[in-house]
A and B are shown apart, each in its own frame.
Chain A
Amino acid sequence: MINLAQKLTEQEYEKNFAELHPPFSKNSAVAEANRCLYCYDSPCTKACPTHIDIPGFIKKIASENLKGSAKTILEANWVALTCAKACPVDVLCEGACVFIEKNEKPIEIGRLQRFVIENYFHAGMPKLFSAKPRNGKSVGIIGSGPAGLACSGELALLGFDVTIYEAKEIPGGLNTWGIAPYKVRQADSLKEVKLVESYGVKIKTKIRIGKEISFEELSSKHDAIFIGIGLGESFDLKVEGENLKGVIGALEFIEEVKAEKWSKVNVGKRVAVIGAGNTSIDAATEAKRLGAEHVMIIYRRSRSEMPAYEFEFQLAQKDGVTFHFQTNPVRVIGSNSVEGIECVKMQLAELDERGRRRPKPIPGSEFKIPVDMVIKAIGQQTNTDLLGSIPNLKIENGMIVVDPETYQTGNPKVFAGGDCINGGKEVVNAAYDGKRAAHGIYKYLFGK
């Protein structure tokens, strides 16, 4: 990179990546819990993709049965700490809280859940569940992200012998490597890994399927396989100059930040992030917090089509990130590394198949912006290498097709869940998929 942003002091990094929402004290948690109405057949529970019994766990905070509260939560969700901190609660549980209909502040479900689970880990993770006796069957799990962890934990409770195969050195998948550090720290994610391990799940790291072990061999070792590999590399922009130094995929960039060695992460003075999903917001705010002077998000449609959540958009604005809507990159400029980006203005024309207006370049509206770094955040590709090696998988639009009840793929022995079947949703969706798939596997092997 030509213009590197000035490095910050350790204190500055710590401050910039400090948690967005402070934890509850016990008094405040109990007071907030008592504000909850303890609704029956509650809308918040329905809105949670893992259907945590929310009034149930909140009532237990009110009675200071914190262990019981943790049990209620973890019964439904194996990665409840990450979810408590990273879930878009405004559009899930809290968005459904009955207080909203009363025009009042919804119950802070996410923060209460976090209070309970942090307390649970702080108390040394006491055993909450007893596993069924060993059933003699073994399952191989590819990927230790939220889907893989949830599936493994649940399978262990059902009596299976479970081994997770993880390509990276540190397990946890996106929970460990993909969520902005001011939301979730690596240490949080690793606690959830430990929790699953405590029920007997084995994790083999630095094992890539197709490299260290072939899928065939893996398949011959286990009675069933679960795929929870998420997505692959960031999509290319498909423009000239893409290979210049200083062009990086959002996921790769976020991963560097997640290692929490902030002074080692190089970031340009001026950064352009292409795309306006939640990942691009993360990349943009992280670049800003690393010391970049100007960070802009470039998006080909308008604000109303932007896939990022409203609160994420606001967070980026608060961080001073600027937005170029209806703008599309046509060329990355530079001789060796990035020096600028050439964009074109877009107009929105007829509706596409998803009901969004199709963006079209306005001829002659090209303009150049000087930047030192370009982050690609227009989505991720399927991991075709790995999936191609698995016989009989059915893949549509880059997603593995599964039975919606059992999560079984076209190959009866193989199950899948998480981003690789939905194209990229929330952690909480992956957690639910993994858990349900475990029961699908049970049904497949034991017929019930």
Chain B
Amino acid sequence: MIDLSINFAGIKSPNPFWLASAPPSNSAYQNCKAFEQGWGGTVWKTIGEPVMNVCNRYGGLDYNGQKLVGLNNVELISDRNIEDNFKEIAETKRLWPDRAVIVSLMVESKKETWHEIVKRTIDTGCDGLELNYGCPHGMSERGMGSAVGQVPEYCKMITEWVTEVSTIPVLIKLTPNVGNIQIPSRAAKAGGASGLALINTINSIIGVDLDTFELKPSIAGKGGHGGLAGPIVKPIALNMVSQVALDNEVNLPISGVGGISNWQDALEFILLGSTSVQVCTAVMHYGFRIVQDMIEGLTFWMEEKGFNSLDQVRGKSLSRIDDFGNFNLLHKTVARIDQDKCIHCNLCHIACEDGAHQCIDLISENGKSKTIVREEDCVGCDLCSIVCPVEGCISMVRVDDGKETKTWNELVADFKKDNTELTWEKLRAFQKRYGIEIH
């Protein structure tokens, strides 16, 4: 039996899929509908200070005909009456006792205001709180959102105000608009947080209209930076999640957010240390129904790999992460083309010729072009195999015997031992010894 259930700092959920705090989790109607379709939990759309939204608050980025690879927004927190929100949160939790209902909060940076909203929120019967230190627009100008997430001292202070009165787990949702994500994570931990959620949206301008010179979206002619989400932010989110997961000073459960559209994306976050995952843009694009494939796809994958609980999967790829200085310099691969599969588009040739090391020759054979790798010159960069449009046509073949290894750190240490400096000349001598030729 495959068990997808999780326990996130005491918050239980039948599966790791949560709605991110965003438009899809705005009301009881939406959250209950999402639960009906299978979502394991929700982070209620951020409630707090009185706000008012503007029209045209989103900008979409299409790429090569694929709609919405990125979504920009200048939306604020919930603009619905806070009393309605409290009522609906309580009602939703009452109807769905087995699902995780977490409420996202954001108020001005005053201790009493935070105490007040935390108590009122806990009275709804919800399972946890998520403090929104993330919005990079609108709220940050008022000293909230990313204005908090970017200053570790505020991060810690507000977390402390909340955790000193909260009787339920407190998650901190971090902004990615910082230099090193570990710093606000540690501040949140120091403030007593039970878990982290990341990432919120990334500061961005999604585009400019070439006819009107207006920004996208245009709000009566004006525009500004907004928060970027959707498939394109996933690599940034994955990196940040892994950095926090690897930080021994933090050591908190993580809810992974950013660019998750299906079970495969979710699984990558889990393999890099997330306990739960949150989704916004994909639901805004396709609706709650996407969770069915998420649950089924993850279940079948676990079945196939022989796992029966997510505890066996979580963080499994973290041990693969290392510093550049520890990579093996003697690992040698070359590109090999399967001529039977090649369709003669010659993209590998031009990519190598103009973008790499000029080692794929284009020759003519019976009036047809043919691409041939000069293996001795190939530096094994992988570019050609990335551009090749045919599955399994170019493979990167390992040609070192794997017996010897030498990392950059070891190399530098060797020189240190000999009390010499690493010069180009010496590096060449080292390469020569291993038959490595770079022209």
A63 and B263 in contact, given A34-B66, A68-B293 (Cβ under 8 angstroms): yes
Contact with B along A56-83 (1 / 0, CB 8 A): 1001101111011001000000000000
B347 nearest CB across to chain A (Å): 15
The reply on B11 being an interface residue by CB < 8 A is no
Closest to B390 in A: A27
Contact with B along A19-54 (1 / 0, CB 8 A): 000000111000000100010100000000000000
Taking CB atoms and an 8 Å cut-off, the chain B residues in 213-265 that contact chain A are 261-264
Closest to A30 in B: B391
Closest to B65 in A: A35
Chain A residues lying within 8 Å of B287, measured Cβ to Cβ, are: 40
Q: Is the CB of A60 within 8 A of B297?
A: yes
Q: Is the CB of B297 within 8 A of A65?
A: yes
A64 and B264 in contact, given A26-B391, A27-B391, A59-B293 (Cβ under 8 angstroms): yes
Q: Is the CB of B297 within 8 A of A68?
A: yes
A106 nearest CB across to chain B (Å): 16
A62 interface neighbour in B262, B300, B391, Cβ under 8 Å: B262
B399 nearest CB across to chain A (Å): 27
Chain A residues lying within 8 Å of B391, measured Cβ to Cβ, are: 25-27
A65 interface neighbour in B286, B293, B389, Cβ under 8 Å: B293
The reply on B410 being an interface residue by CB < 8 A is no
The CA-CA distance from A232 to B292 in the complex, in Å, is: 44
B296 interface neighbour in A27, A40, A64, A68, Cβ under 8 Å: A68
The reply on B290 being an interface residue by CB < 8 A is yes
Q: Is the CB of A38 within 8 A of B296?
A: no
Chain A residues lying within 8 Å of B261, measured Cβ to Cβ, are: 63
Closest to A34 in B: B66
A68 and B300 in contact, given A26-B391, A63-B263 (Cβ under 8 angstroms): yes
Chain B residues lying within 8 Å of A64, measured Cβ to Cβ, are: 264, 297
Taking CB atoms and an 8 Å cut-off, the chain B residues in 377-396 that contact chain A are 389-391
Closest to B285 in A: A38
The CA-CA distance from A207 to B389 in the complex, in Å, is: 53
Chain B residues lying within 8 Å of A59, measured Cβ to Cβ, are: 286, 290, 293
Q: Is the CB of A38 within 8 A of B286?
A: yes
Q: Is the CB of B297 within 8 A of A63?
A: yes
Contact with A along B264-291 (1 / 0, CB 8 A): 1000000000000000000000110110
A96 nearest CB across to chain B (Å): 20
The CA-CA distance from A71 to B293 in the complex, in Å, is: 11
B182 nearest CB across to chain A (Å): 32
Chain B residues lying within 8 Å of A62, measured Cβ to Cβ, are: 262
Q: Is the CB of B290 within 8 A of A65?
A: no
A115 nearest CB across to chain B (Å): 13
Specify which of A27, A62, A68 lies most central, judged by the most chain B CB atoms within 10 Å of its CB.
A68
B335 nearest CB across to chain A (Å): 19
The CA-CA distance from A71 to B296 in the complex, in Å, is: 10
Closest to A66 in B: B300
Q: Is the CB of B66 within 8 A of A65?
A: no
Chain A residues lying within 8 Å of B293, measured Cβ to Cβ, are: 56, 59-60, 63, 65, 68
B21 nearest CB across to chain A (Å): 24
A67 and B300 in contact, given A40-B287, A59-B290, A60-B293 (Cβ under 8 angstroms): yes
Contact with A along B288-327 (1 / 0, CB 8 A): 0110110011001000000000000000000000000000
Chain A residues lying within 8 Å of B297, measured Cβ to Cβ, are: 60, 63-65, 68
The CA-CA distance from A60 to B299 in the complex, in Å, is: 13
Chain A residues lying within 8 Å of B286, measured Cβ to Cβ, are: 38, 59
Number of interface residues of B (CB under 8 A): 17
The CA-CA distance from A59 to B296 in the complex, in Å, is: 12
Chain A residues lying within 8 Å of B389, measured Cβ to Cβ, are: 27
A93 nearest CB across to chain B (Å): 19
The CA-CA distance from A65 to B300 in the complex, in Å, is: 8
The CA-CA distance from A65 to B299 in the complex, in Å, is: 10
The CA-CA distance from A68 to B303 in the complex, in Å, is: 12
Chain A residues lying within 8 Å of B296, measured Cβ to Cβ, are: 60, 65, 68, 71
Specify which of A27, A34, A63 lies most central, judged by the most chain B CB atoms within 10 Å of its CB.
A63
Closest to B67 in A: A37
Chain A residues lying within 8 Å of B263, measured Cβ to Cβ, are: 63, 65
B428 nearest CB across to chain A (Å): 41
Contact with A along B44-74 (1 / 0, CB 8 A): 0000000000000000000000100000000
The CA-CA distance from A59 to B391 in the complex, in Å, is: 21
The CA-CA distance from A70 to B287 in the complex, in Å, is: 22
The CA-CA distance from A194 to B144 in the complex, in Å, is: 63
Chain B residues lying within 8 Å of A63, measured Cβ to Cβ, are: 261-264, 293, 297
Specify which of B263, B264, B287, B293 lies most central, judged by the most chain A CB atoms within 10 Å of its CB.
B293
B127 nearest CB across to chain A (Å): 29
Contact with A along B393-408 (1 / 0, CB 8 A): 0000000000000000
The CA-CA distance from A45 to B296 in the complex, in Å, is: 21
Closest to A69 in B: B293
Chain A residues lying within 8 Å of B66, measured Cβ to Cβ, are: 34
Chain B residues lying within 8 Å of A67, measured Cβ to Cβ, are: 300
The CA-CA distance from A26 to B290 in the complex, in Å, is: 22
B192 nearest CB across to chain A (Å): 38
Contact with B along A126-139 (1 / 0, CB 8 A): 00000000000000
Chain B residues lying within 8 Å of A60, measured Cβ to Cβ, are: 293, 296-297
The CA-CA distance from A72 to B238 in the complex, in Å, is: 31
The CA-CA distance from A369 to B116 in the complex, in Å, is: 98
Specify which of A25, A26, A65 lies most central, judged by the most chain B CB atoms within 10 Å of its CB.
A65
The CA-CA distance from A275 to B300 in the complex, in Å, is: 50
The CA-CA distance from A38 to B293 in the complex, in Å, is: 13
Chain A residues lying within 8 Å of B264, measured Cβ to Cβ, are: 63-64
The CA-CA distance from A27 to B262 in the complex, in Å, is: 18
Closest to B341 in A: A25
The CA-CA distance from A144 to B336 in the complex, in Å, is: 50
Closest to B304 in A: A67
B34 nearest CB across to chain A (Å): 15
A30 nearest CB across to chain B (Å): 10
The CA-CA distance from A38 to B286 in the complex, in Å, is: 7
The CA-CA distance from A63 to B289 in the complex, in Å, is: 14
B266 nearest CB across to chain A (Å): 10
A59 nearest CB across to chain B (Å): 6
Closest to B294 in A: A63
Contact with B along A253-286 (1 / 0, CB 8 A): 0000000000000000000000000000000000
Chain A residues lying within 8 Å of B300, measured Cβ to Cβ, are: 65, 67-68
The CA-CA distance from A75 to B390 in the complex, in Å, is: 33
Taking CB atoms and an 8 Å cut-off, the chain A residues in 313-347 that contact chain B are none
Closest to B389 in A: A27
B16 nearest CB across to chain A (Å): 16
The CA-CA distance from A71 to B261 in the complex, in Å, is: 21
B72 nearest CB across to chain A (Å): 22
The CA-CA distance from A71 to B292 in the complex, in Å, is: 12
Closest to B391 in A: A27
B361 nearest CB across to chain A (Å): 26
The CA-CA distance from A440 to B264 in the complex, in Å, is: 40
Chain B residues lying within 8 Å of A68, measured Cβ to Cβ, are: 293, 296-297, 300
7 contacts between A and B (CB under 8 A): A26-B391, A27-B390, A60-B293, A63-B261, A63-B264, A64-B297, A68-B300
For the A-B complex with A56-B293, A65-B296 known, give 20 more contacts whose Cβ atoms are closer than 8 Å: A25-B391, A27-B389, A27-B390, A27-B391, A40-B289, A56-B289, A56-B292, A59-B290, A59-B293, A60-B293, A60-B296, A63-B263, A63-B293, A63-B297, A65-B263, A65-B293, A65-B300, A68-B296, A68-B297, A68-B300
- Lowest 4 A-B CB distances belong to which pairs? A65-B297, A63-B262, A68-B296, A27-B391
